[in-house]
Amino acid sequence: MQSVSILITNDDGYGAEGLKALEESLAEIGTVWVIAPDREQSGQGHALTLNDPLRFHKRGPRHFVVQGTPTDCVYLGIHAILKAEGRPRLVVSGINRGYNLGDDITYSGTVSAAFEATLMSLPAFAISQEIRADSPVDFGAAGRFARVLAREILERGMPADTLFNVNVPRRPPRGVRVTHQGRRIYPGGVIERIDPKGRTYYWIGAQSADWEDDPKSDFAALGDGFVSVTPLHLDLTNYKVMDQLRRWNLEL
């Protein structure tokens, strides 16, 4: 039997430890192609490079770096790097250093890479690891869970127009929960400072945020020490408000 081919990428960059852990874990079930950004691209969301030439460089057998975003990696991976090879059976993005929960997923390069693969009708998931600044990161459990989920997807197939967003707690997981996307409560504002030349500058994202208390959310699962698996849909339409919107006075 031919080995299944799996494309992996991330937004922490080619040299990231989480990518290596993911590669090692998935190598047990398939032929892994590593196609990752040449530098960190966290927080780039679903950005696609449209106004600059895109280049990739081979770093070893089945290892490539792309001078672009995580979405570029998937796009170029499928349409150029793996063109002769054929489409992979699965695309996995991660293991991200730091979780991607709730509303944050729209900023996430990790989740967006999986989103891009789903747009191309390829089964995909994103996987992220909870971290703490004061302790080393152990990607062991996340790597093992990536393999478990990959096996299931390869065996069962993926529900249409769906990707999975997986988050793994820092402590040894107590189990796995299927969750919905939670809601962050941002303290708001930015941190304002003065640089040595007297000019004002700002930092976004440096404040800690809380989240809405909802026992079925991704946040709650992590808080309780469980791996969280959130199925995400490609269609962002809010169907519930369509009728309401039709009653607005929107005549031209």
Residue ranges that bind Mn ion, judged by CB under 5 A: 11-12, 42, 96
Between 70 and 77, CB nearer to Mn ion: 70
What DSSP character marks residue 77?
Answer: I
Contacts of 117 (CB under 8 A, 6+ apart): 7, 74, 78, 91, 93, 123, 124, 163
- CB 95 → Mn ion: shortest distance, Å? 10
CA nearest to 230, candidates 185, 183, 171: 183
Calpha distance 6→3 (Å, rounded): 9
Work out how close the CB of 244 gets to Mn ion at its nearest, in angstroms, rounded to a whole number.
Answer: 37
Q: Which is nearer to Mn ion, 30 or 165 (CB)?
A: 165
How near is the Cβ of 146 to Mn ion at its closest, in Å? 16
Q: CA 86, CA 83: separation in Å to the nearest integer?
A: 6
Smaller CB distance to Mn ion: residue 36 or 158?
36
Kindly state the tokens that stand for 130: 């909870």
Rounded to a whole number of angstroms, the minimum distance from the CB of residue 127 to Mn ion is 11
Nearer to Mn ion, 82 or 115 (CB): 115
Pairing status of strand 162-168 against strand 227-233: antiparallel
Comparison of 96 and 118: residue with beta carbon closer to Mn ion: 96
Give me the residue whose beta carbon is nearest to Mn ion. 42
d(CA 220, CA 225): 9
Q: Would you say 111 and 118 are in contact if contact means Cβ atoms under 8 Å apart?
A: no
Which lies closer to Mn ion via its Cβ, residue 69 or residue 82? 69
Least distance (Å) from Mn ion to the CB of residue 247? 42
Rounded least distance, CB 249 to Mn ion, Å: 44
CB 19 within 8 A of CB 95: yes
